[in-house]
């Protein structure tokens, strides 16, 4: 397993104080560069047994730990039971062991066997073999299968263990050969408690830390430690976010309300304001209820109006009937007139006939007879005429008698309907006026209160934000101070503050991992500070652990650091920092003031470094070197896209070498613009680049050329 920081290291430091180890056994120690051996080297707990079964790593392990008194290295193959088994030396050294590569395909699809050996195995219990009643033993199993090895121990061996770290499979589908149980249940069954499980470089491979609480009073202490650890993790997680969104800020503010008395006071004030708003809402609801009551009354009056409308319809019906009666009367009058005319015409015709008969009849008897008939007919005609006139006069009188009553009713009903409509309209107008006044009053009151409430909320948010930022800054300072004290107690050296203007711890860890995995020949740094000390110390550690001679300091290509700084104050501070830590010889610290520099993209103020880089190019010679370039200067306020010239300067002199470019603060908008200008530069020159980003507090951008 490669050397990389793991969250379990912090737990081990705390547990070392709570339950000091009497004996530490590490199964799967590797070549000594893993985190567990490195942690033991930094703390030197006393009696340590390191077990490694592979030949080549075991030789390196012996060399790395020879100086530690009380340490023992044993080349053994540990299994659940003693016997003979096949040991597989695989292409990934950390995965060499009793499991064949086929059993680890879920982890390493391309894992292959380099060689196999028939080896004698030793039971884990025989390696531990603690005296009866003794405890204070620590066990680390960094190989597969870890859990079956622990479960195979007898009761005495298990009772002697206080702290155990086991390699753990974190993937979704566990390979059958690992034999891993449910972590919490298995630990509880063995008398342990799971403190934390953390992943390593492979996302599916991690380690689980379990602990036996022998003293009940330690539970409260451990709870406090766990709480501090939890809060520390929260701080680191928040610092890793480049830009907080509004919703994330609200969530963080909500998490801080229970811990801030000022926040409680603000929340109480807001609650009081909310109660006032609730009262206003209740008043508005009451006003709306009154409006609904008035509206109901209005609907009733409208129903009455509709009834009146039905009466008006009845009047219209009477008017229609009157018109029909008038029409019938007119028709009767015309009929009578036509009848009289017919009678008169008939009388005239008979008179004419009578005259003709008189003229024809000369005899006196005939004349008398005709006269009598004529008189009789005339009398009958007069009776008919008188009867018809009498009927007409009667019908006309009856019609005239009815007509004034109908007209009177119609006028009375029309007047009543008109008066009712006027009353309804007046009431509606009055009600609308009241509703409008109430609505305007409520809107005005709300408009007056809303700005005050918004201002109060802004002030509360500002105070909470300030309190939160102060709390976060204080937490970070406390954590860094604690780590510095721990490091000083363990090694006699303190760590420099990693927060504020210098690089953050996350990019520091990122750079250390790159140095470990890629073994750079040269490191060029634009801007000095904490990173300069970090590079120098890392090179010293690499030289010591890899057995390199001290003469490497005299040669530029042997992992030297070239640091360019424009500010004389920072240049002097960095020089003193390197001297105080005894690593001045590891760094070539050059003062390069800012000068005007320009290309097709514009004019910039940048380090006067062309001559320095030309000397570096000459010193490197014809062989290709591996170069790490950290761009962390000059400050963004120097000019627009202030860090862009770094890439043109380096590639104009060193383009033939393998160059990795790392940019800090990559989450800022201006740095994003700088990255885009770099891409244009590389495209114009046909330089192939592999780009990557890493999540961190300020953002990390990496380009491999």
- pLDDT (tens digit per residue) in 351-364: 566 556 545 544 55
State the pLDDT at residue 643.
95
8 A C-beta contact, residue 158 and residue 190: yes
Average pLDDT across the chain, whole number:
76
The H-or-E segment that residue 371 falls in is helix 364-491
- Give the Cα separation of 699 and 243 in Å (integer): 10
Look at residues 649, 655, 640, 669 and name the one whose alpha carbon lies nearest to residue 705: 655
Instruction: Please report where in the chains the tokens 């760094």 appear, as a residue.
Output: 587
Local structure of 137: helix, strand or coil: strand
Is residue 303 predicted with pLDDT exceeding 80? no
The predicted-structure confidence for 46-68, as pLDDT tens digits, reads as follows 899 999 999 889 998 999 898 88
Q: Which two tokens stand for residue 146?
A: 């870890």
Q: Which of 210-224, 262-276, 417-431 has the highest mean pLDDT?
A: 417-431
CA-based angle 627:525:475, to the nearest 5? Answer: 120
Architecture of domain 505-704: 3-Layer(aba) Sandwich (3.40)
Q: What is the mean pLDDT of residues 455-472?
A: 72
pLDDT at 646 over 80: yes
Pick from 6-20, 234-248, 398-412, 497-511 the range whose average pLDDT is largest: 6-20
Question: What b/e sequence results for 662-681 when a residue is b if at least 16 CB atoms lie within 10 Å of its CB, and e otherwise?
Answer: bbbbbbeeebeebbebbeeb
Q: Does residue 236 register a pLDDT over 80?
A: no
Is the entire prediction scored with pTM above 0.75? no
Average pLDDT of span 26-41? 90
- Pairing relationship of beta strands 77-79 and 113-123 according to DSSP bridges: parallel
| Residue 337 in this model has a pLDDT that exceeds 50 | yes
Distance CA 491, CA 486 (A): 9
- The answer to whether the beta carbons of residues 135 and 21 sit under 8 Å apart is no
511: exposed, middle or buried (Cβ count in 10 Å: 0-12, 13-18, 19+) = buried
309-318's contacts with Cβ under 8 Å and 24+ in sequence apart are 309/417, 311/413, 311/416, 311/417, 312/413, 312/414, 312/417, 314/413, 315/409, 315/410, 315/413, 315/414, 318/406, 318/409, 318/410
In angstroms, the Cα distances linking 177 to 94, 106, 180 are 17, 11, 9
What size, in residues, is the chain? 705
Q: Which strands, in side-by-side order, build the sheet including 77-79?
A: 77-79, 113-123, 83-90
The pLDDT value recorded for residue 447 is 77
Kindly state the average pLDDT of the residues 629-643.
Answer: 91
Residue 88 belongs to what H/E stretch?
A: strand 83-90
Best-predicted range by mean pLDDT (176-185, 234-243, 359-368, 388-397)? 176-185
Helix, strand or coil, per DSSP, at residue 526:
strand
More confident residue, 181 or 142: 142
Burial (0-12, 13-18, 19+ Cβ within 10 Å), 283: middle
Report, as an integer, the average pLDDT of 425-429: 77
Bigger pLDDT: 112 or 235? Answer: 112
| Consecutive H or E run containing 330 | helix 261-360
Which of 163, 31, 175 is CA-nearest to residue 93?
Answer: 31
Nearest Cα residue to 628 out of 471, 505, 514: 514
Say yes or no to pLDDT of 264 above 80: no
Longest dimension (CA), the chain: 190
Please name the helix (run of DSSP H) or strand (run of DSSP E) that holds residue 628, with its range, or none. strand 626-631
Q: Which residues contact 654 (CB under 8 A, 6 or more apart)?
A: 613, 616, 617, 620, 627
Question: Helices 35-43 and 8-18 meet at what angle, rounded to 10?
Answer: 40
Angle between the 610-620 and 646-654 helix axes, to the nearest 10 degrees?
30
pLDDT at 128: 82
pLDDT at 183 over 90: no
Pick the CATH number of 8-214 from 1.10.3720.10, 3.40.50.1820, 3.40.50.2000, 3.40.50.150: 3.40.50.150
Instruction: Identify the H or E element spanning 599.
Output: strand 594-599
User: Which of 345-349, 505-509, 627-631, 645-649 has the lowest average pLDDT?
Assistant: 345-349
Q: How far is CA 668 from the centre of its chain?
A: 19
Distance CA 538, CA 535 (A): 5
According to the model, what pLDDT value does residue 95 have? 86
Q: Is the pLDDT of residue 416 over 70?
A: yes
Do 8-214 and 505-704 agree at the fold level? yes
> What count of Cα atoms within 13 Å lies in the side-chain half-sphere of residue 283?
13
Torsion sign, CA atoms 255, 259, 260, 266: positive
Please state the rounded mean pLDDT for residues 418-443. Answer: 76
Whole-number Cα distances in Å, 528 to 398, 507, 510, 630:
125, 15, 17, 10
Q: Residues 197, 168: contact at Cβ < 8 Å?
A: yes
CA 60 to chain CA mean position, Å: 47
Query: In this structure, are strands 23-27 and 48-51 parallel, antiparallel, or unpaired?
Result: parallel
Domain ranges of the chain: 8-214, 281-474, 505-704
What's the distance, Cα to Cα, between the start and end of the chain in Å?
A: 27
């Amino acid at each position: 397993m490669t050397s990389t920081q793991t969250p379990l290291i912090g737990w081990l430091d705390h547990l070392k104080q709570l339950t000091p180890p009497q004996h530490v056994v590490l199964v799967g120690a590797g070549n000594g560069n893993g985190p567990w051996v490195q942690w033991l080297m930094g703390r030197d707990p006393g009696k340590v047994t390191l077990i490694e079964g592979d030949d080549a790593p075991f030789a390196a392990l012996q060399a790395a730990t020879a100086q530690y008194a009380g340490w023992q290295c044993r080349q053994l193959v540990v299994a659940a039971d003693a016997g003979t088994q096949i040991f597989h030396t695989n292409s990934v050294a950390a995965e060499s062991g009793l499991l064949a590569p086929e059993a680890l395909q879920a982890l390493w699809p391309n894992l292959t066997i380099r060689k196999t050996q028939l080896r004698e195995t030793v039971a884990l219990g025989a390696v531990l073999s603690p005296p009866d009643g003794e405890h204070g033993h620590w066990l680390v199993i960094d190989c597969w299968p870890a859990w079956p090895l622990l479960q195979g121990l007898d009761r005495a061996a298990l009772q002697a263990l206080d702290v155990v770290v086991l390699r753990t499979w974190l993937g979704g589908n566990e390979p059958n050969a690992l034999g891993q149980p449910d972590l919490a249940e298995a630990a509880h069954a063995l008398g342990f408690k799971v403190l934390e499980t953390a992943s390593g470089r492979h996302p599916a491979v991690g380690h689980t830390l379990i602990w036996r609480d022998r003293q009940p009073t330690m539970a409260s202490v451990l709870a406090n430690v766990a709480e501090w650890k939890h809060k520390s993790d929260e701080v680191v997680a928040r610092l890793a976010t480049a830009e907080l969104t509004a919703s994330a800020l609200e969530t963080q503010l909500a998490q801080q309300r229970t811990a801030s008395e000022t926040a409680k006071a603000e929340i109480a004030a807001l609650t009081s304001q909310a109660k006032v708003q609730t009262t206003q809402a209740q008043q508005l609801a009451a006003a709306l209820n009154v409006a609904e009551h008035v509206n109901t009354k209005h609907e009733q009056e409208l129903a009455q109006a509709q009834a009146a409308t039905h009466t008006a319809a009845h009047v219209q019906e009477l008017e229609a009937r009157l018109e029909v009666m008038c029409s019938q009367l007119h028709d009767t009058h015309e009929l009578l007139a036509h009848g009289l005319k017919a009678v008169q015409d008939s009388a005239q015709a008979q008179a004419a006939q009578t005259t003709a008969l008189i003229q024809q009849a000369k005899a006196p008897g005939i004349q008398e007879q005709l006269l009598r008939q004529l008189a009789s007919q005339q009398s009958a005609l007069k009776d008919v005429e008188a009867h018809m006139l009498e009927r007409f006069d009667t019908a006309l009188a009856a019609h005239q008698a009815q007509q004034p009553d109908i007209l009177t009713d119609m006028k009375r009903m029309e007047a009543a309907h008109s008066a009712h409509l006027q009353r309804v309209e007046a009431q509606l107008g009055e009600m609308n006026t009241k509703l409008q006044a109430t609505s305007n009053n409520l809107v005005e009151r709300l408009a007056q209160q809303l700005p005050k409430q918004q201002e109060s909320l802004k002030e509360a948010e500002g105070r909470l934000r300030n309190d939160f930022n102060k709390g976060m800054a204080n937490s970070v300072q406390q954590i860094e101070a604690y780590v510095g004290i721990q490091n000083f107690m363990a090694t006699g050296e303190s760590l420099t503050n990693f927060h504020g203007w210098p690089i953050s711890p996350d990019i520091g860890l990122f750079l250390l991992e790159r140095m470990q995995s890629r073994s750079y020949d040269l490191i060029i740094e634009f801007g000095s500070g904490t990173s300069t000390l970090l590079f120098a110390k890392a090179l010293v550690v690499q030289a010591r652990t890899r057995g390199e001679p001290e003469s490497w300091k005299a040669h530029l290509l042997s992992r030297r650091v070239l640091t360019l700084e424009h500010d004389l104050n920072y240049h002097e501070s960095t020089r003193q920092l390197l001297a105080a830590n005894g690593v001045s010889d590891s760094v070539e610290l050059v003062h390069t003031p800012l000068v005007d520099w320009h290309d097709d993209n514009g004019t910039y103020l940048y380090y006067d470094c062309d001559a320095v880089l030309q000397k570096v190019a000459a010193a490197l010679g014809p062989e290709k070197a591996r170069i790490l370039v950290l761009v962390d200067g000059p400050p963004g306020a120097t000019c627009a896209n202030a860090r862009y010239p770094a890439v043109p300067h380096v590639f104009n002199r060193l383009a033939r070498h393998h160059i990795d470019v790392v940019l800090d603060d990559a989450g800022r908008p201006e740095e994003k613009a700088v990255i885009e200008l770099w891409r244009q530069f590389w495209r114009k020159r046909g330089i192939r680049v592999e780009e990557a980003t890493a999540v961190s507090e300020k953002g990390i951008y990496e380009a491999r050329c």
